[in-house]
Amino acid sequence: MTVTIGDRLGWRDIAQVGEGEALALSPAAEERIAHAARIVGRIVESGVRAYGINTGVGALSDTVVDRRSQRRLSRNIVLSHACGVGPLLAPREVRAIIAAQIANFAHGHSGVRPEIVSNLAAFLERDCIPDVPSKGSAGYLTHNAHSALVLIGEGSARVAGRPMHGRDALTAIGLAPLVLKAKEGLSLVNGTACATGLSSIALARAARLLDWADAIAALTLEAAGCQLAAFDEAVLALRPSRGIATVGASIRNRLSGSGLVAAALARRTQDALSLRAIPHAHGGARDVFEQSAETVDRELASVTDNPAILGTPDNPIVSSEAHAVAPALAQAADSLAIAIAQIGAMSERRIDRLVNPLVSGLPPFLASDAGSNSGFMIAQYTAAALSNENRRLAAPASMDGGLTSGLQEDFLAHPTAAANKLLSVIDNAEYILAIELMAAAQAHDFLEATAPRARGTEEIQLIVRAHVLHYADDRPLAGDMETLRTLLRDRSPPADI
């Protein structure tokens, strides 16, 4: 399937391109891009002073650049801004960033030539992935610059997975290095494409994670002999929340007809909060997810270049503004990171209830031969460590602050840092939930003779056992954890109805 840019894209579209879908522009989008390029061309001809076109950038915005030097300015901006460090971003993340950048250009207020956009689209179509370091961006700039390096035949990339110099990568996909014109260097490093692309990937992963969190929690609730009355629709409706209602319905559907739940009826007056409050924590995360997704979609609908090109070639308007700054996007990523971290923290507490013989009613640490076997004792340690790391990562990046560019950029919103941090939180939460899934399946193995599972949880149990076997201290648990984490990351759970 090809994702086509008409008026606008949403985060799901960007995530699909990240996963490998092609990207195309509608004729209307192509004309908008060309129109803005014609305006920039007229400004260059007339010599009207305009930021980033015939002036320096940042703290050098009042320095005039003569016409002969404007192309050199564009190239130099790309070279000087490619300051990223650290591990490379994953290919799907780079693809999503490029898709978000093309979407920004397609609004028709950037002033880059159509060739810039068509070459970026060719990167996606022909599997040319620029090497983009993950660290070094206080807001934007550095990540985009590393992709732009390849456009001009510099930097490095992977073509069909093969590493090569940027110029060789262009040759491999049938392109020649571009000579950038006025403003194009600035447009290529500018805007919020990096944070928006990364956030779109995070949303896609978070959506799948939240569905798995509900399914895994249902398996644990059944193994723990939960009191399902706390999940009644009328009871949960006392706290109005679409997220709570969604999670409550999912739990009820998955546990419908459970013999284990029926056998545990009235065993306790109420369950521990890590069981009873699942709709509240998971539902709260879903509500935050919806708000964050709306913010990312609004970012994709926005022009995030500075300056913005408006008007016509005969009446050009260059507006120096702050649309490349994205406090709302940073806040959205921070909020979702907190919500996902809380999901992981609650999951870790449920793991402890499954392995802890003081409360589980199951063999100690779910060991097949407690004493000579340690079972899931240390797997719970791993979950606790990851939950604690997420607690640290949940500190808001949007409040980091900082001063750059000789006091010209004296406020930083840090949306890229927030998005990267969110992805790290999701990494950890996937592992925690994989451990809970593994432990819950082991608990159910010990309950086989007690009563039948619900149809909804039986599906989950069968999926787990199709990937990993019952654990008897006969192999390293790390391999099982990786297997189930991959399952959670790449596949959605079966429907709950």
Q: pLDDT, tens digit, for every residue of 69-127?
A: 677 888 999 999 999 999 999 999 999 999 999 999 999 999 999 999 999 999 999 99
Which residue bears the tokens 């503004």? 321
Lowest-confidence segment of 137-151, 283-297, 403-417, 455-469 by average pLDDT: 403-417
Going by DSSP bridges, is the β-strand pair 22-25/128-130 parallel, antiparallel, or unpaired? unpaired
All domains of the chain in start order, with CATH? 2-190 (1.10.275.10), 199-490 (1.20.200.10)
* CB-CB contact of 306 with 320 (8 Å): yes
For residues 131-159, average pLDDT? 91
| Residue with the larger pLDDT of the pair 43 and 386 | 386
Terminal alpha carbon distance of the chain: 28
Lowest-confidence segment of 46-55, 169-178, 481-490 by average pLDDT: 46-55
Dist. CA 481–CA 302, nearest whole Å:
41
* CB-CB contact of 251 with 287 (8 Å): no
Beta-bridge partner residues of 310: 317
Dist. CA 281–CA 274, nearest whole Å:
9
* CB-CB contact of 122 with 173 (8 Å): yes
Lowest-confidence segment of 203-212, 301-310, 473-482 by average pLDDT: 301-310
Ramachandran region, residue 449 (left: φ > 0; alpha: ψ -120 to 50; beta: rest): alpha
Whole-angstrom CA distances from 317 to 62, 135, 320, 471 are: 18, 35, 10, 68
Whether pLDDT at 493 is above 70: yes
- Residue 113 CA from chain centroid, whole number: 30
For residues 249-264, average pLDDT? 96
For residues 372-391, average pLDDT? 96
- pLDDT digits 0-9 by tens, 16-54: 999 999 999 999 999 999 999 999 988 888 777 777 777
* CB-CB contact of 443 with 364 (8 Å): no
Q: CB neighbours (10 Å) of residue 237?
A: 12
Residues in Cβ contact with 449 at an 8 Å cutoff, skipping those fewer than 6 apart: none
The length of the chain in residues reads: 497
Please tell me the pTM assigned to this model.
0.94
**pLDDT computed for residue 442 by the predictor:** 98
Question: How buried is 62 (Cβ within 10 angstroms: 0-12 exposed, 13-18 middle, 19+ buried)?
Answer: exposed
Both structure tokens of 383:
């979950």
**pLDDT computed for residue 411 by the predictor:** 58
pLDDT band at 408 (very low <50, low <70, confident <90, very high): low
Whether pLDDT at 401 is above 90: no
Output the average pLDDT for the chain: 93
Both structure tokens of 213:
């969190």
* CB-CB contact of 361 with 450 (8 Å): no
- pLDDT digits 0-9 by tens, 444-467: 999 999 999 999 999 999 999 999
Both structure tokens of 227:
């009191």
**Annotated catalytic, 51?**
yes
Catalytic residue among 51, 140, 431, 471: 51
- pLDDT digits 0-9 by tens, 263-310: 999 888 999 999 999 999 999 999 999 999 999 999 999 999 888 999
pLDDT band at 231 (very low <50, low <70, confident <90, very high): very high
